[in-house]
């Protein structure tokens, strides 16, 4: 990690204490159970200037690239409060910063600093899965606007967002000689006529929920198209590479949160007179987890530096997500084993960490597809699928 990243990370960790004073881990879980939202959390983040990190100064932000939001997400997750809409807003606006017009950047990026605009991201479809080229959502040009029809799934925090970045086909796959051509990215207000949210029954012990997004004849002005029509692939990946990095931060932070809980318990629990933390059978899995989390963190910030320099960051961003999610899963498993049966007591808040940590081996892209990417793009092996 370079000195600038270290400084950002240190300053962010200090600032996050003010956010945790409003919504700590216990309050985060309580709101998830009772269906409450994070409105005061967003206002606190804005008041502390944390929402402006990663936004250029000419858009009312504090400057910096993706390293800043990654540091924020890591700190939030280490506190046990990984707000997913913050992650979504951060990587979605990055694509607008890079590919949007000046008017679009003013309209949708600058207001994220005050939380007036909060962005979710809508790409996944039930039938397409990880094969995004196969998506069926279609945007048909009609005069000065586009008409969107289709359905997106697993859209996190859509009820708390103000806008969705929707990826749709503008040329059907059957009509395109190159599957990479024909995708476009739109900013869609979530109060648009014809747009409907259906909550999914997914329990992550979080105040933020997941939705199916139905689009039926949703009219979107032409000026809501980010980048060029049919050329949305680059726009999409300038969102998805930061997404990989922010998800890595989510995994590393939450893995570190779980690990610290396990270490604290191992120091105190002494059924045979000495703390169980003195037993190598308990020590070693925790120590290995710490080593793997730290290694994943180094890869993550290295990838951040690559992205911020406009270097090709895809390989390192994918590796960071892979390593971070696996390290966090190993940490959580070691901590559950350390707590034993007590981990399954809801009051201990240990197994409540597991669903969100385990999810990160699957979402936003499963680790098997990341291994495919590394095999093909880094090792130059033949495509396997």
pLDDT tens for 149-197 read 999 999 999 999 999 999 999 999 999 889 999 999 999 999 999 999 9
What are the extents of the domains in the chain? 3-117, 120-233, 236-378
User: What's the pLDDT band for 64 if we cut at 50, 70, 90?
Assistant: confident
| CA triple 259-343-350, angle to 5 deg | 50
pLDDT, residue 56, reads 96
User: What's the pLDDT band for 4 if we cut at 50, 70, 90?
Assistant: confident
Q: What is the pLDDT of residues 213-234, one digit of tens each?
A: 999 999 999 999 999 999 999 9
Q: Is residue 2 scored above 80 in pLDDT?
A: no
Rounded-to-integer distance, Cα 236 and Cα 311, Å: 16
Q: Which long-range contacts (CB under 8 A, 24 or more apart) does 135-139 make?
A: 135/167, 135/168, 135/169, 135/183, 136/169, 137/166, 137/167, 137/168, 137/169, 137/215, 138/168, 138/169, 138/170, 138/172, 139/168, 139/169, 139/170, 139/184, 139/186, 139/220
pLDDT, residue 7, reads 86
Q: Is residue 299 scored above 80 in pLDDT?
A: yes
Q: Is residue 1 scored above 80 in pLDDT?
A: no
Instruction: Calculate mean pLDDT across residues 265-271.
Output: 97
Instruction: Calculate mean pLDDT across residues 40-56.
Output: 97
| CA triple 210-211-214, angle to 5 deg | 165
Q: What are phi and psi of 346, to 5 degrees?
A: -55, -30
User: What's the pLDDT band for 119 if we cut at 50, 70, 90?
Assistant: very high
pLDDT, residue 27, reads 98
pLDDT, residue 5, reads 84
Report the top-level CATH class of 3-117: mainly alpha
Parallel/antiparallel/unpaired status of strands 210-221 and 138-142: unpaired
236-378 CATH: 1.20.140.10
Tell me how crowded residue 280 is: count the other CB atoms within 10 A of its CB: 8
Q: Look at the pTM and tell me if it is higher than 0.85.
A: yes
**Under 8 Å between Cβ of 78 and 19:** no
Instruction: Calculate mean pLDDT across residues 261-282.
Output: 98
Tell me how crowded residue 57 is: count the other CB atoms within 10 A of its CB: 10
Residue 146, judged by CB atoms within 10 A of its CB (0-12, 13-18, 19+), counts as buried
Q: How many residues would you count in the chain?
A: 385
Topology annotation, domain 120-233: Butyryl-CoA Dehydrogenase, subunit A; domain 2 (2.40.110)
């Amino acid at each position: 990690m370079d000195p600038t990243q270290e400084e950002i990370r240190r300053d962010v960790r200090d600032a996050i204490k003010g956010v945790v004073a409003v919504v700590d881990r216990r309050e985060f879980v309580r709101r998830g159970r009772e269906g409450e939202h994070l409105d005061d959390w967003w206002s606190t983040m804005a008041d502390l200037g944390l929402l402006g990190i990663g936004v250029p100064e000419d858009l009312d932000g504090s400057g910096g690239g993706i390293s800043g939001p990654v540091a924020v997400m890591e700190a939030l997750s280490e506190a046990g409060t990984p707000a997913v809409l913050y992650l979504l807003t951060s990587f979605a606006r990055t694509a607008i910063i890079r590919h949007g017009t000046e008017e679009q950047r003013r309209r949708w990026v600058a207001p994220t600093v005050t939380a007036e605009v909060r962005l979710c991201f809508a790409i996944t479809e039930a039938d397409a899965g990880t094969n995004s080229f196969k998506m069926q959502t279609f945007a048909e040009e009609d005069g000065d606007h586009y008409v969107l029809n289709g359905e997106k799934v697993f859209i996190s925090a859509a009820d708390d967002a103000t806008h969705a970045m929707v990826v749709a086909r503008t040329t059907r796959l059957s009509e395109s000689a190159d599957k990479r051509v024909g995708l476009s990215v739109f900013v869609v207000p979530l109060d648009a006529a014809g747009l409907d949210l259906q909550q999914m029954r997914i329990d992550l012990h979080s105040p933020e929920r997941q939705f199916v997004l139905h689009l039926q004849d949703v009219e979107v002005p032409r000026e809501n198209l980010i980048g060029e029509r049919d050329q949305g692939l680059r726009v999409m990946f300038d969102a998805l590479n930061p997404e990989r990095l922010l998800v890595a931060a989510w995994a590393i932070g939450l893995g570190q949160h779980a690990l610290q809980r396990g270490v604290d318990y191992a120091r105190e629990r002494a059924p045979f007179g000495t703390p169980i933390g003195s037993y190598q059978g308990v020590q070693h899995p925790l120590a290995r987890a710490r080593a793997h989390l730290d290694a994943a963190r180094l890869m993550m910030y290295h990838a951040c530096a690559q992205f911020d320099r406009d270097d090709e960051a895809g390989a390192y961003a994918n590796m960071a997500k892979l390593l971070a999610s696996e390290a966090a899963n190993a940490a959580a498993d070691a901590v559950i084993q350390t707590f034993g049966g007590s981990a399954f007591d809801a009051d201990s808040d240990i197994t409540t960490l597991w669903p969100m940590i385990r999810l990160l081996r699957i979402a936003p892209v499963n680790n098997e597809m990341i291994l495919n990417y590394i095999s093909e793009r880094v090792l130059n092996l033949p495509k396997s699928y």
